[in-house]
């Protein structure tokens, strides 16, 4: 997979986020401040502009550009967290012009570790970590079991979707939703929902 593959992934995330903007905002209205859809939509639009202005030469460059732009352009918790996820993944890939699915999986695992270090959220705290953790684990496992990249990315997306759904009954322990205490229960976490979109976009971009 080359820089163009990562750019396709980013474009697919941008499309899904734009389509789900109102839904993400409604989820955030229930347990946050109703800006998650707008935050990500604005961030990914800025990423699209940055990619056009300075087309990346390697997958690592593309992910570092994505991460850096989200950190700069998205106010709110999700900007620095997603920004860190992608930027760390990009740094882990280094400057190879082509990367394998296993290398991308290892880089995303590093990205997730950086998110956990920054936000100090554990699985079960009702955040994006609840979707990203099973996704990255399923991706690593599927590849180890010999799956091709399309099947492995599908497994990752399914695991993220399941992890997101599993946030519904939980009580939030990190981020804005944690201020609601028990009233955060019974709602899907917006960041977990957007993480599922990010992983589904990876599967779609490998299927096109
Ligand atoms: P804000 O809450 O600042 O308005 P967003 O609405 O864009 O930011 O993003 C909210 C999402 O960020 C939450 O749904 C949750 O998934 C994620 N989040 C918040 N705090 C943390 C944290 N400490 N660690 C991981 N994810 C977090
Ligand atoms: Mg918000
Ligand atoms: Mg906000």
Per the structure, the count of domains in the chain is 1
Q: What is the pLDDT of residues 98-132, one digit of tens each?
A: 999 999 999 999 999 999 999 999 999 999 999 99
Residue 103, phi then psi, degrees to nearest 5? -65, -40
Taking the CA of residue 79 as reference, the ligand 1 atom at the shortest distance is 7
Question: Measured between alpha carbons, how far is 135 from 155 in angstroms, rounded to an integer?
Answer: 8
The residue whose CA has the least distance to atom 23 of ligand 1 is 119
- Return the ligand number nearest the Cα of 175: 1
pLDDT value, residue 77: 97
What is the domain range of residue 174? 3-207
The reported pTM is 0.98
Q: What is the pLDDT of residues 8-29, one digit of tens each?
A: 999 999 999 999 999 999 999 9
**Domain at 145, CATH number:** 1.25.40.340
The residue whose CA has the least distance to atom 13 of ligand 1 is 191
Distance between alpha carbon 165 and the CA centroid of its chain, in Å? 15
- Written as six digits, the tokens of 208 are 């096109």
Please state the ipTM of this predicted complex: 0.99
- Written as six digits, the tokens of 65 are 């550009």
- Written as six digits, the tokens of 74 are 């998205």
Q: How far is the CA of 82 from the centre of ligand 2 (A)?
A: 13
**Is residue 30 pLDDT above 80, yes or no?**
yes
For residue 183, the 8-state DSSP code is G
Q: Is 132 exposed, middle or buried (0-12, 13-18, 19+ CB in 10 A)?
A: buried
Query: Which of 17, 25, 78, 188 is the pocket-test mutation for ligand 1 (most atoms within 8 Å of CB)?
Result: 78
């Amino acid at each position: 997979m080359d820089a163009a593959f990562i750019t396709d992934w980013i474009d697919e995330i941008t499309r899904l986020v734009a389509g789900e903007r109102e839904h993400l905002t409604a989820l955030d209205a229930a347990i946050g401040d109703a800006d998650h859809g707008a935050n990500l939509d604005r961030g990914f639009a800025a990423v699209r502009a940055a990619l056009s202005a300075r087309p990346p030469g390697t997958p690592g460059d593309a992910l570092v550009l994505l991460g850096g732009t989200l950190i700069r352009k998205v106010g709110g918790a999700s900007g620095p967290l997603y920004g860190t996820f992608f930027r760390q993944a990009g740094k882990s890939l280094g400057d190879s012009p082509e990367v394998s699915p296993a290398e991308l999986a290892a880089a995303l695992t590093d990205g997730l570790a950086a998110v956990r270090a920054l936000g100090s959220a554990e699985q079960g705290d009702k955040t994006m970590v609840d979707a990203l953790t099973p996704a990255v684990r399923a991706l690593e496992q599927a590849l180890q079991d010999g799956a091709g990249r399309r099947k492995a990315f599908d497994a990752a997306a399914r695991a993220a979707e399941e992890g997101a759904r599993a946030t519904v009954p939980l009580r939030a322990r990190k981020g804005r939703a944690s201020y609601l205490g028990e009233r955060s229960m019974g709602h899907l976490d917006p960041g977990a929902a957007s993480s599922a979109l990010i992983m589904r976009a990876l599967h779609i971009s490998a299927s096109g």
